[in-house]
Amino acid sequence: MITSLRLENFKGFREIDLRLAPITLLTGVNGMGKSSVIQAFLLLRQSFASGDLSAGRLLIGGELVDLGTGVDLLFEDANSDSIAIGFTVKRPSSFLSGRSWLKRFTYDRTAETLLAVDSENKSDNLTGELVGQPPFAGRFAYVHAERVGPRKTLPLSDARVLAFDLGTKGEYVLHILLEHGSEALPDNDPRVSSGGPKLIDQVGAWLQEVSPGSHLAIDPVRSADLAIGGFSFDREGDIPSRVFRATNVGFGLSYVLPVIVALLSTKPGGLVLIENPEAHLHPKGQTRMGQLAARAAAAGVQVIAETHSDHFMNGVRIEVRGGAIKPTDAAFHYFHREKSEIV
């Protein structure tokens, strides 16, 4: 688990050390740096995957995140052209436990990029030791605030399915469920609600928590590399309705589907980053998503969520009060501005 994040001269932060827990909620008014915390992890992951980090560079514009040029990442009132990103990890029964990694980058004004200038605490060897671990690698999901929403069809991609990649906007969620929906969650997994242990069953169970009586339907069109998603609803006598196109159902169910799948499918030891999991949901649905996020943390998945919803936060509190996770397993951070700095 990543236990802390350190940022220096990064976007709105002059300097910050942020404690991270099994579930960490980033809150505060708009434009105060919540997304920047998530973007720091995305920068490291895409830079590592592309080979740029090993070559001493940050990939600023990539598939996970595109932040412009080097100057866009540099704190406006920085005393130098240097930024730093670092973190500390804790792993049970591991020599990595308590080890820190921090790398500094300098803004190259001619190339409009950020180049590594040094590393601290075991230098780049630690990067090698963490090759298979978050945030660099390992099971990972990132759900962007701007998701695909209701669509007549979503794409099929064998490459994405092999990588278990939902897509940053959840665009491959239907294909993931088609190929991995029959996989069962572990015995006694705290994420399991009513119904069977298969992933598709649990996705359905948590959709019911958001919209009682709703059911997901997926119809693949292999010849066109597309999948049609829709929803049916229980009627009197437990007779289901016909399947309605996702575009005729509204935003809520389609928008929350990638969130549910990310929280249910990520294996223990993995990392889930979510922006606005509460979007387009009614208050009870927002609370249920907070509960699912907390249960994912109880299952050993590290969850970092940006939220504006007190209902989502209350969902986490409910699980703390109920004993699913310890109070120390949840961290709530409120970001605000003091003069020109975010704290």
Mean of pLDDT values over 196-210 = 97
* Same-domain pairing of 134 and 172: no
* Same-domain pairing of 277 and 135: yes
* Same-domain pairing of 336 and 244: no
Closest CA to 170 of 145, 147, 193, 191: 147
Side by side, the strands of the sheet bearing 140-143 are: 140-143, 271-275, 302-306, 23-28, 330-335
- At 129, is the pLDDT very low, low, confident or very high (cuts 50, 70, 90)? low
* Same-domain pairing of 121 and 188: no
Distance CA 331, CA 328 (A): 7
pLDDT at 90: 84
Provide the mean pLDDT of the chain. Answer: 91
The count of domains in the chain is 2
pLDDT at 296: 99
Long-range contact set of residues 199-205: C-beta below 8 Å, sequence gap at least 24: 199/261, 199/264, 199/265, 202/264, 203/177, 203/257, 203/260, 203/261, 203/264
Mean of pLDDT values over 91-105 = 71
pLDDT at 85: 94
- At 115, is the pLDDT very low, low, confident or very high (cuts 50, 70, 90)? confident
pLDDT at 131: 64
* Same-domain pairing of 8 and 107: yes
Q: Which run of H or of E encompasses 16?
A: strand 13-19
* Same-domain pairing of 130 and 180: no
- Final residue before a domain boundary, out of 250, 265, 280: 265
* Same-domain pairing of 223 and 111: no
pLDDT at 142: 98
pLDDT at 264: 98
Mean of pLDDT values over 207-231 = 97
The per-residue pLDDT for range 57-89, each reduced to its tens digit, is 899 999 999 999 998 999 999 998 899 999 998
- Final residue before a domain boundary, out of 219, 244, 265: 265
* Same-domain pairing of 130 and 159: no
118 versus 286: the higher-pLDDT residue is: 286
39 versus 237: the higher-pLDDT residue is: 39
pLDDT at 102: 87
289 versus 194: the higher-pLDDT residue is: 289
Mean of pLDDT values over 239-247 = 93
Residue 93 pLDDT more than 60?
no
- Final residue before a domain boundary, out of 265, 296, 314: 265
Mean of pLDDT values over 80-105 = 80
- At 201, is the pLDDT very low, low, confident or very high (cuts 50, 70, 90)? very high
* Same-domain pairing of 34 and 104: yes
pTM of the model: 0.93
Give the CATH number, domain containing residue 102: 3.40.50.300
- At 240, is the pLDDT very low, low, confident or very high (cuts 50, 70, 90)? confident
pLDDT at 94: 56
Phi, psi of 44 (to 5 degrees): -65, -45
* Same-domain pairing of 213 and 276: no
* Same-domain pairing of 102 and 166: no
What is the DSSP secondary structure assignment for residue 185, as one 8-state letter?
P
Mean of pLDDT values over 28-39 = 94
The per-residue pLDDT for range 35-49, each reduced to its tens digit, is 999 999 999 999 999
Q: Is the dihedral of CA 17, 57, 47, 255 positive or negative?
A: positive
Contacts of 322 (CB under 8 A, 6+ apart): none
* Same-domain pairing of 1 and 134: yes
What is the DSSP secondary structure assignment for residue 234, as one 8-state letter?
B
Mean of pLDDT values over 209-233 = 97
* Owning domain of residue 127: 1-139+271-343
